[in-house]
Amino acid sequence: MILVWLIGILLIGGVLAWLAERWSAQLPRWISLVAIGTDLVLAAIIWAGSAFHGTQPWLDEVDWNWVPSFGIHFHLALDGLSLLMLMLTFLLGIMAVLASWTEIRERVGFFHFNLMWVLAGIAGVFLAMDLFLFYFAWELMLVPMYFLIVIWGHERRVYAGAKFFLFTQCSGLLMLIAILALYFLHHQATGVYTFEYSQLLNSRLSPRVELWMMLGFFVAFAVKLPVVPLHTWLPDAHTQAPTAGSVILAGLLLKTGAYGLLRFVVPLFPHAAHEFTPVALALAVTGIVYGAVMAYSQTDLKRLVAYTSVSHLGFVLLGIFSWNQLALQGAIMTMICHGLSTGALFVLVGGLQERLNTRDLGQMGGLWAVVPRLSGAALFFGLASLGLPGLGDFVGEFLVMLGSYQVSIAATVVTCLGVLASTFYALRMVQRAFQGPNTHAWKIPDLDLREGFMMAVMIIGLLGLGLYPQPVFKTCDRPLENLQREAQPAIAAVRR
């Protein structure tokens, strides 16, 4: 039942936050903070009390008949991989609430309702083991995020929200078609109607049909990841979203695409995924280099940070389709650390925009002498973004490259060029915004206690993961072994 409560607390908290606005504008903020904090504590308790080396595939599980006549179950299950993603979800959820504390002043209750329901949908994606339920949670994320962008976003928010909606909705419909095709083909082969993940594994499919169904799933997850050239919604959505929306988008929604590739694409369609690997690796390295080059060319600080996500998530795609233990460990570490470092950068950019009323790098400069704490935090997270050794991003990217080297030396070499390019955009961001003379005579306040707390939490997280990543590896090792075991027989048969 604790898995149901992890989602239910967010749904109930969102409704209460909406209703509470009639009494106080502060009350919705505190309700959201308490609800997400409660979920974080529950997830931490599960983590602390779980045995990761047992024989059971799940740490916790709920499986109820939902619509028996169609073989639909309300099936939630938690393993180490899901647990890590949930911990990241609740931590960044708290950061999103704190980041919006002074920024959001209108319709505060409805804002927190949408924020909480987005988080509930994300938690559902990480827990659902019935494909119908998974799709339901996948779509649940879409509408609240759309409202967050178009109501509380910036100057071109309606355009950005519509673009986000169209890209994610159309790609989601492709996944729905693939789910239904798998559902009916499984019934044709076994006589059983089911959306259960475990029963759909190793379904008997012809190579051509498997490829098309895999592509249906892949496109949906590639849009959300995002993969070049399906990424064009991302810079606009990030740039126009409020700070909390950017944190959720970069830190969490993009990770649902990576999670879907890990959990569903390769295990459900191993033959097709193996055949598609060269294309996926090419897309990954293209995204790594392209995202870094585009980030370097930006003058809008928020858009610059948005393009870094395209580059960093290319490492995740590279690691997933390399499909060995080192690369998969690196992909998961990159997912977590990207959420922390890029989430923190969006918080800092939001704080600068709130103070300066601009995101234009040409209007900045010399801020180090004015706001040294904010500038120092930006330098730290810029160094994390370029993969400085000793920080978590370096561990993830290094492991991905070690793993990908076993699969494609050429892809690894090109990836190194992307790492080099990341150095240029990170240092350019710091130099243009914070170094040099203060030509505009800015006089703005430095980080306050709330913002300093947020930065400290994410700095400690990245340092801890960079210096001692073993807790993450220990947590995800068994789920990764299970995923590889599910796909390996089919892949081995192809190689023979």
Model confidence pLDDT, tens digit, residues 78-108:
998 999 999 999 999 999 999 998 888 888 9
Average pLDDT over residues 252-274: 92
Domain count, the chain: 1
Rounded distance between C-alpha atoms, residue 330 and residue 323, angstroms: 11
Q: Which two tokens stand for residue 194?
A: 């089911």
Would you state the pLDDT for residue 54? 57
Domain holding 304, by residue range, is: 269-490
Would you state the pLDDT for residue 496? 41
Rounded distance between C-alpha atoms, residue 86 and residue 97, angstroms: 16
Residue 89 lies in a domain: no
Residue 424 lies in a domain: yes
At 494, the pLDDT band (50, 70, 90 cuts) reads: very low
Report whether 421 contacts 289 (CB < 8 A): yes
Residue 108 lies in a domain: no
What amino acid occupies position 438? Answer: N
Residue 395 lies in a domain: yes
Would you state the pLDDT for residue 439? 74
At 55, the pLDDT band (50, 70, 90 cuts) reads: low
Residue 169 lies in a domain: no
Q: Which two tokens stand for residue 239?
A: 């740039």
Rounded distance between C-alpha atoms, residue 136 and residue 378, angstroms: 38
- 489, pLDDT greater than 70: no
Would you state the pLDDT for residue 481? 86
Q: Which residues of 342-377 are buried (b: 16+ CB within 10 A; e: fewer)?
A: bbbbbbbbbbbbebbeebebeebbbbbebbeebbbb
Average pLDDT over residues 446-453: 91
* Each residue's pLDDT tens digit, 284-325: 999 999 999 999 888 888 899 999 989 999 999 999 999 899
Around Cβ 402, how many Cβ atoms within 10 Å?
Answer: 17
Measure the CA angle with vertex 85, ends 19 and 455; round to 5°: 75
- 412, pLDDT greater than 60: yes
* Each residue's pLDDT tens digit, 200-211: 887 888 889 999
* Each residue's pLDDT tens digit, 138-190: 998 999 999 999 999 888 889 999 999 999 999 999 999 999 999 999 888 88
Would you state the pLDDT for residue 327? 93
Which helix (H) or strand (E) element contains residue 437?
none
What amino acid occupies position 326? Answer: L
List beta partners, residue 60.
78
At 482, the pLDDT band (50, 70, 90 cuts) reads: confident
Contacts of residue 206, defined as CB under 8 A and 6 or more positions apart, other chains included, come to none
Rounded distance between C-alpha atoms, residue 304 and residue 429, angstroms: 8
At 52, the pLDDT band (50, 70, 90 cuts) reads: low
DSSP code of 380? Answer: H
Would you state the pLDDT for residue 373? 92
- Please give the backbone phi and psi of residue 302, each rounded to the nearest 5 degrees, phi first: -70, -35
Average pLDDT over residues 350-373: 86
Residue 48 lies in a domain: no
Rounded distance between C-alpha atoms, residue 21 and residue 29, angstroms: 9
Contacts of residue 230, defined as CB under 8 A and 6 or more positions apart, other chains included, come to 167, 171, 219, 222, 223
Residue 371 lies in a domain: yes
Q: What percentage of the chain reaches a pLDDT higher than 90?
A: 60
